[in-house]
Structure 1
Amino acid sequence: MNQPARKKYPIGMQSFSTMWKENYLYIDKTEYIYRMTHSDSKYMFLSRPRRFGKSLLVDTLHAYFEGKKELFEGLAIEKLETEWVQYPVLHFDFSTAKNLNKEELESELSFKLAKYEEVYGRKEGDERPNQRLQGLIERAYRQTGKEVVVLIDEYDAPLLDVMHEEKDLPVLRNVMRNFYSPLKALGAYLHFVFLTGITKFSQLSIFSELNNIQNISMLQEYAAICGITEEEIRRQMDAGLEAFAQKLSITKEEMLEKLKANYDGYHFTWPSPDIYNPYSLMNAFSETRIASYWFGIGTPTYLIEMLRKFGMSPAQLGGEMRAEASDFDAPTERLTGIVPLLYQSGYFTIKNGNLLFGSYTLGIPNREVRIGLMKSLIPYYLTPNTQATSAAVITMAECLYDNDMEGALQAMRTFLSTVPYADNTDYEGHYQQVLYIIFSLLGMYTDIEVRTPRGRVDVVMRTPAALYLIEVKMDKSADVAMQQIDLTQYPERFALCGVPIVKVGINFDSRQRTISDWKIMK
């Protein structure tokens, strides 16, 4: 049944009861809640990217465990649950504990514990966070006669921004390990424990000691527990989809294709339905506009630092990579590569999987993430002046959509001539990466070092009107670059692409750090 058009779209909404009371659209995930709470495990962990609905899921669990049956009227769980038992719930949200030092983090823990100590009391002598948490669980159990539910949202938030630091990470990790330590010893007092996060820190006691915690992040039965599927859009957002399409003067199917290209493509296991980014989707429906919403709220500092640490190039980032099943379970603080972190953070997703060998192909999920990632690399490869980059990219995009490569290269030369000097730019590979970033920002299909039977093409870019085969040289000439394309007969490899092939030879001047000359042949 379609949701009424008058439903408000929940932009960043995390309160399940508020959504119910104030008539917000709620994508029904309560069948998953029933499945979780009636499974064999009472300790569970879920990893999903930021702004993917983890906090709303935790808050919905909170309402469920408090027995608020009236909030679930008309939802799937209403027909599944028959008991609606009320349990004491301890709900900790650590999204408020980011960018804190040791003393500030301990103060934040104290503040969160004090909230529940007002209800269940505090034993004299309980000073450390672990003592206070243990005391809370024991008293809540004795006072209510019910086992306790512990919900911990974004358990890893205090550690994410320091995961690349050897000094601060161990200190903060020990604080959090101390806090979580009672959860193992108090199993007899606990009914259900659920944690969410982005990454897995193995040296926190929650993973190193709670060996019975079930990680449901990649289980097929929970593939769509967060995010929105196309079936859910068609069934629960059909009226909004119709209004969106009318606003843009296109059909519903055309509208869905636009949404799919920009916000779809996530898979958290394999096989899996396509999952849309819920934050971007709700914003787009609310504003009836396609824009960068999820990426626009900021790229985490830790991601850029880790990209630099592992030396991942833009082209590597934009391509596809292989990973084994064990890679996804790698401890964050012991990573030997960045692919698991890119996956957990939502910048990579599973594109394909081989269940027989337990291997996966990963890559960027959609256009919003691809362009956002390339924009985040501009300060490191081009210039901190992102406004100048944006202006240049718009000019180049206009030229390419008019099939004017000459004008696009002229705009690129003008732009690059304004970029300040940077180290490590005196080799051809740097300029390949620069072209890759710029063309990717245009929203075009771009790849570098594309293999052919007779060699490799430096850069391949496809626009709606043409396929460009680009050879890059430094301190030589465009004629030399063009000669290499002719000699190796690259066009044979792309003869069936369906659009005209255009050969482009570009020469960069290492002293002026921009394009010196180019040659274009159709």
Structure 2
Amino acid sequence: METRKLPIGIQTFEKIRVGNYVYVDKTAFVWKLVSSSAPYFLSRPRRFGKSLLLSTFESYFEGRKDLFEGLTIGQLEKEWNVHPVLHLDLNAEKYDSPEGLYAILDRYLKMWEDRWGRGDGESTPAGRFFDVIRRACEQTGRGVVVLVDEYDKPLLQALGKDNALLEDFRDTLKAFYGVLKSADRYLRFVFLTGVTKFAQVSVFSDLNQLSDISMWPDYATICGITLEELKDNFQPEIEQLAATNAMDVGEVVKKMTTLYDGYHFYQNAPGVFNPFSVLSVFTSKVFGRYWFQTGTPTFLVELLKQSDYDLRELLDGVEAPASSFTEYRVNVDNPIPLIYQSGYLTIKEYDKEFQNYLLAFPNDEVRYGFMDFLVPFYTSLAEDERGFYIGKFVQELRVGDVDAFMKRLRAFFADFPYELNTRTERHYQVVFYLVFKLMGQFTGAEVRSGKGRADAVVKTPKYIYVFEFKLDGTAEQALKQIDDKGYLLPYSVDNREVVKIGVEFDANERNIGKWLVE
């Protein structure tokens, strides 16, 4: 079977089309957007196809009809007018000083000025930007197209680390992007992308004409791959993946859906697969955590370090009105907006009556990758040790060795460094939570933080384990609560052996103390 070329890591539309790479046709969205002259903004997570989308706009406005043959827009467009295009990409740079941002803007401005000329009166980046837009329009007689990729990258790199630098970046970018309003009469089309839409840093305060299409239903699938697109465009790759892994095609699609699908950018909109993970699994033929392993953004790491947010709520899903997560406000006590906009949470349900959303992990790649990412914040275990512990936990419960499981769990807590031993009760509750949640990828493990349910339930082929932990009580009280609260009732008709485990936490030792098994 012939191996087709997959555009993994390729973000240039021309390169994909000329190189005969597989391309999922998104040009119907492009046509709809370019049919108006409104300026647009789109927020999507990293590695989700934003750069390729902007490159597609660029090729369209350069009149590259040859690149669109066979695509939807090729059947719709008749004129293919050529417009001057100013494409600013802030994605692949490191911004650690005011001079760094200025140097990047200066580099792009010089490139544009080499093409369209420069006047003697303007010296600021904003002034030069306005001047080059005006010149390009006057020289061609056509409106200018401005495309900005990852407009917020400098802001995100300074977030939580250097307020003075953040303020400097904000002032520079506010003035620079503000040109897009004052130069409106010279512009044909404007499109900005980024991870976040900041509310308090005021970058958008002068751009109130921007149409934010991030949660518009018509554009919910403009980035990413729908299930239908997966089946229509990647059938040969699905068949090869099935053959390599001794699976049938249906099993492959189901597993890919569990791992990589589930992103929703509007209530009740079709889910989309992460395109980077899809292309990666087809290339490697190994089911892995590709998007997550490209690196958790530094700004999110810093925010979580500062946050006192109860992460158990995050792991089970968070209810929130749209206003609380669509715009990011710098508040270390609520990391949810940035976690959502970064792609670690997505829309799963919508309550129309109260206009509340349920935000949760989109799929297993993100769910278990994010929990693995959290473990170092709560323990001192290295990455290879974490996998070893979780694997042993599962194996011991599968064979019914509860004592071995509890001794290993005690060792897990004993490995906490001293500074972690001074943490609050919530810290230890989160650790219990993470352990059982991570076990869930290998066995039927459920863990709850609310009242009226057992703290944790683990289901294996032979056993059902019901755990109750007491941070301020005894193992005997824990067992009694299992009985008194009827925690076993849901499993009364199950043929597996039900095992009750009551555990007490030793406050002096900061570790698991006594446990009882029935």
Structure 2: state its 5+ residue gaps: none
In the alignment, is the contact (CA less than 8 A) between 2:421 and 2:510 conserved in 1?
A: no
Q: Distance in 2 between matches of 1:97 and 1:70?
A: 32
* Per-residue deviation, 1:363: 0.9
Distance 1:107 1:352 in 2: 44
* Distance (whole Å) between structure 1 residues aligned to residue 301 and residue 495 of structure 2: 38
Distance (whole Å) between structure 2 residues aligned to residue 342 and residue 462 of structure 1: 30
Is the counterpart of residue 218 in structure 1 residue 215 in structure 2? Answer: yes
2:247 maps to 1:250: yes
Report how many residues are paired.
Answer: 514
Q: Distance in 1 between matches of 2:85 and 2:332?
A: 35
What residue number does 2:364 align with? 367
Q: Which of 4, 9, 12 is matched with 1:12 structurally?
A: 9
Residue 123 (structure 1) aligns with: 119
* Aligned match for 2:384, one of 384, 387, 390: 387
Which residue of 2 is the match for residue 434 of structure 1?
A: 431
Distance 1:47 1:324 in 2: 18
| 2:56 is equivalent to residue 60 of structure 1 | yes
Give me the whole-angstrom Cα distance separating, in 1, the residues matched to 2:263 and 2:54: 21
Tell me which moved more, 7-16 or 88-97.
Answer: 7-16
> Per the alignment, in what secondary structure is the counterpart of residue 181 of structure 1?
helix
Distance in 1 between the 2:397 and 2:49 partners?
38
Take 2:6 and 2:401, find their aligned partners in 1: how far apart are those partners?
Answer: 41
Distance in 1 between residues matched to 2:308 and 2:503, nearest whole Å: 26
Deviation of the 1:162 alpha carbon: 2.3
Question: Residue deviations 1:462-515, cap 9 Å, x none?
Answer: 556654321112486533322222232222256578966432222333444433
Contact persistence 1:270–1:353 (CA under 8 A):
yes
User: Contact 2:457 / 2:466 at 8 angstroms: preserved in 1?
Assistant: yes
Q: CA deviation at 1:336?
A: 6.7
Q: Counterparts of 1:21 and 1:501 in 2: how far apart (Å)? A: 62
Q: Contact 1:147–1:190 at 8 Å: present in 2 too?
A: yes
SS for the counterpart of 1:470 is: strand
- Counterpart CA distance in 2 for 1:401 and 1:125 is 76
Superposed CA deviations along residues 44-92 of structure 1, whole A, max 9, x for unmatched, are: 0000001111011111111111111111111111112122111100000
Deviates most, 318-327 or 355-364: 355-364
2:395 is equivalent to residue 398 of structure 1: yes
The structure-2 alpha-carbon separation of the partners of 1:462 and 1:224, relative to structure 1 and needing over 3 Å to count, comes to farther
Equivalent of residue 150 in structure 1, options 146, 152, 159? 146
CA distances 1:215-267 after superposition (whole Å, capped 9, x unpaired):
10001110100011110111001111111111111111111111111111110
The answer to whether the 8 A contact 1:181-1:205 is kept is no
Moved over 6 A (4+): 496-499
Name the counterpart of 1:90.
Answer: 86
Cα distance in structure 2, aligned partners of 1:69 and 1:228? 24
| Greater mean alpha carbon deviation, residues 172-181 or residues 149-158 | 172-181
How far apart, in 1, do the equivalents of 2:188 and 2:83 lie? 8
1:262-281 deviations in Å (ceiling 9; x for gaps): 11111000111111111111
RMSD of aligned Cα (Å): 2.4
TM-score, normalization by structure 1 = 0.92
Equivalent runs, 1:338-353 vs 2, <5 Å: 338-353=335-350
Distance 1:302 1:108 in 2: 21
Q: 2:70 matched to which residue of 1? A: 74
Asked whether 1:271 is paired with 2:268, we answer: yes
Aligned pair in 2 of structure 1 residues 342, 475: CA closer, same or farther (>3 Å)? closer
> What one-letter code is carried by the residue in structure 2 that aligns with 1:177?
K
Amino acid at match of 1:383: S
Once the two structures are TM-superposed, the CA of residue 359 in structure 1 deviates from its matched residue by 2.1
Change beyond 3 A, Cα 1:355–1:474: closer
Cα distance in 1 between the residues matched to 2:512 and 2:66: 66
Secondary structure of the residue aligned to 2:288 is: coil
**Which aligned pairs between 1:129-140 and structure 2 lie closer than 5 A?**
129-140=125-136
| Aligned mates of 1:428, 1:459 — CA distance in 2 | 17
- 3-state SS in 2 of match to 1:516: strand
Aligned 1:277-292 pairs, distance under 5 A: 277-292=274-289
Gaps of 5+ in 1: none
In structure 2, give the amino acid aligned to 1:175: T
CA contact (8 A) 1:268 1:349 kept: yes
The structure-2 alpha-carbon separation of the partners of 1:267 and 1:501, relative to structure 1 and needing over 3 Å to count, comes to: farther
Q: Percent identity?
A: 39
Distance in 2 separating the partners of 1:496 and 1:196: 54
User: How has the CA–CA distance of structure 1 residues 64 and 5 changed in structure 2, closer, same or farther, with 3 Å as cutoff?
Assistant: farther
